[in-house]
Amino acid sequence: MTDKLQSILQAEGLDHLLPIFTDQGVTDSILGDLSADDLRDLGIDKLGERKRLLAAFAEEIAPAVTDKLERDEPPATRQEDFTYEAANGEITITGFRGKGHVVIPDKFDELPLPVRAIGREAFKDNSMLVSIIIPEGVTRIGESAFFGCNSLISVTIPETVTTLEKSTFECCSNLTSIILPEGMKGIGDGAFVGCISISKFPLPDSVTRIGQSAFSGCTNLTSISIPDGVTSIEVGAFRGCTQLNSLALPHRIKSIGDDAFHGCTNLVSLTIPDSVTTIAKKAFRDCISLNSIRIPDRVSIIKPQLFDGCMGLTRIEVSPTHASYSSINGVLYDKSGTSIVVCPPGLSEHTLNKGISTIGEYAFMKCNNLTSVVIPNSVTKIDDYAFWYCTNLTSIIIPESVTSIGSCAFSNCTNLSSITIPDSVKSISDYTFSGCTNLANIVIPSSVTSIGNEAFKECTNLTNINIPSSVKSIGNGAFIECINLKNVSIYDGLKSIGNFAFWECHSLTNFRIPDSVDCIGSSGLDAFEKCTGGLKIKEEWQKRKDRPSFMKWFS
């Protein structure tokens, strides 16, 4: 029977893997015995899927196994269940085939040398291991030593161990009790990845390093104390710790790495000490409950992507003494207040500071609550990605003072229905309005001389567009997949139409190629490929076959 297996796969959204299990005759009764290697051998090639399955199997199967083992009288650990190697007068444990509550001997009867190390992957994927006591004298626990021990509940580590190596307890999904000894200095990369049952983790004061992804995916972790000796929160250290709600960083921290707190969806408050000088650009990505944050004076570079997806953030504060930035009504500007750096994604509206000249790169990126913004007539530049993915922005007035609109400036503003570009703008950059699926009306002024690559890609609500005679070039894919575009008005003055410029414009029926055009795509008609709505372009095209610049397509 595979009822439990089927329900697990459905819950994880991995239904497509069911035939793999059924074809190999896998039943519910052996789910708790499957290892990562077993899943790979079955043909489950994606590491992420294997990890998810092991965690799910542990949650469903391992508690029953653990209950039984805990009810049983803890068996004496048999020395013959261990495999080991001897070298340089000491023993390294290399494997174990037993189960239950395990006490590692400090030496073996048949070879009375001291046990000093647990080797790489020594207990890996042992699903019957419930608890383990490591004896005094052991100084090294190897990489992935207990990886995937999904019934393991408690671990006792001696004071002689000072470092946990990479992935030591990764995917020990039922591990709830582990106390690191005083003297422990380093938590290795990925040491506790996916330990979903750990809720609190007191670190000894001796710890000076928490490695990359050390606690990533510890979804039940609510609190952790970080010792004063730690100077860096490394890449992904607490990524996906969805129950972590507050954290005080020690006063010696100097840097916070990429994705350090990515996806900590319950993190409401975080105190960043004045010692911090560097915060990587995606450190707080998708911390949706974070409502305010203060950036210390020593942080000299703040990237807008730092707060990507922080949908609850409404205030970003810096002190008046900060050398590079200022905070105006909770919005981050440069020191002079003339360029907006980042708007907190939780704001629904914002009036830009008077005297501002630049809306910076990514300044309003993914401000999905933003419905309107007032741009003063002092603004001259809207930078690349300025309003990228502002999915609830419905309209915006660009003042006549604006002379430059950057690449992707309004890309994927899916509710933007109309926009007027002022006469001061000279060009429409690449991808400027790409993915604006609700855009129905846009006025291109006679000041514009070029329309960039994929500038209006997938503007599926656009039906008509007037391109003035001032426009000399239409870029590659400029109107690609504008499936409801019916009429395009183009005038003499246009010189070139790029590759696939109107590709898949299924509704396009009216299009006249001006006599001024001397270049269309790389092979002629590819500019209008898949325009299946009755567009008759070949007749227009044939008129140009005698021109020298066109003859290569008719030879």
**Number of Cα atoms under 13 Å in the Cβ half of residue 407:** 5
Residue 18 amino acid letter: L
Write out the two tokens for 194.
């996916």
CB of 142 closer than 8 Å to CB of 119: yes
Write out the two tokens for 190.
């990925």
Question: Whole-angstrom Cα distance, residue 232 to residue 417?
Answer: 46
Burial of 336 (0-12, 13-18, 19+ CB in 10 A): exposed
Phi-psi region of 183 (alpha: psi -120 to 50; beta: other; left: phi over 0): left
State residue 161 phi and psi, 5-degree precision: -90, 120
pLDDT at site 553: 42
Asked if the 3-71 domain carries CATH number 3.30.470.10, the reply is no
Enumerate long-range contacts of 332-339, CB under 8 Å, 24 or more apart: 332/295, 332/302, 334/360
Length of the chain measured in residues: 555
pLDDT at site 48: 65
**Number of Cα atoms under 13 Å in the Cβ half of residue 492:** 2
Place of tokens 């790409």: 434
Domain map of the chain by residue range? Answer: 3-71, 417-555
- Could you give the C-alpha distances from 184 to 64, 192, 225, 229, 388, in angstroms and in order? 33, 15, 14, 12, 45
Question: Whole-angstrom Cα distance, residue 63 to residue 151?
Answer: 7
pLDDT at site 66: 46
Place of tokens 């048999």: 78
CB of 286 closer than 8 Å to CB of 308: yes
State residue 326 phi and psi, 5-degree precision: -135, 155
Give SS3 for 448.
coil
Write out the two tokens for 207.
């710890």
Q: Which residues pair with 271 in a beta bridge?
A: 248
Q: How many CB atoms lie within 10 A of CB 199?
A: 13
Question: Whole-angstrom Cα distance, residue 509 to residue 524?
Answer: 18
Ranges of residues in the chain with a pLDDT under 70 are 1-2, 32-33, 35-37, 47-48, 51, 54-55, 58-76, 523-525, 536-555
CB of 384 closer than 8 Å to CB of 359: no
- Per-position b or e across 367-388, b if 16+ CB within 10 A of its CB: bbbbeebebeeebebbbbbbbb
Binning the chain into helix, strand and coil, the percentages to the nearest 5 are 15, 25, 65
The topology under which CATH files domain 417-555 is 3.80.10
CB of 326 closer than 8 Å to CB of 302: no
Which is nearest to 164 in space by CA: 173, 155, 152? 155
pLDDT at site 544: 57
Question: Whole-angstrom Cα distance, residue 382 to residue 411?
Answer: 13
CB of 368 closer than 8 Å to CB of 389: yes
Place of tokens 């933007």: 416
Task: Give me the sign of the Cα torsion angle 33, 36, 41, 43.
Answer: positive
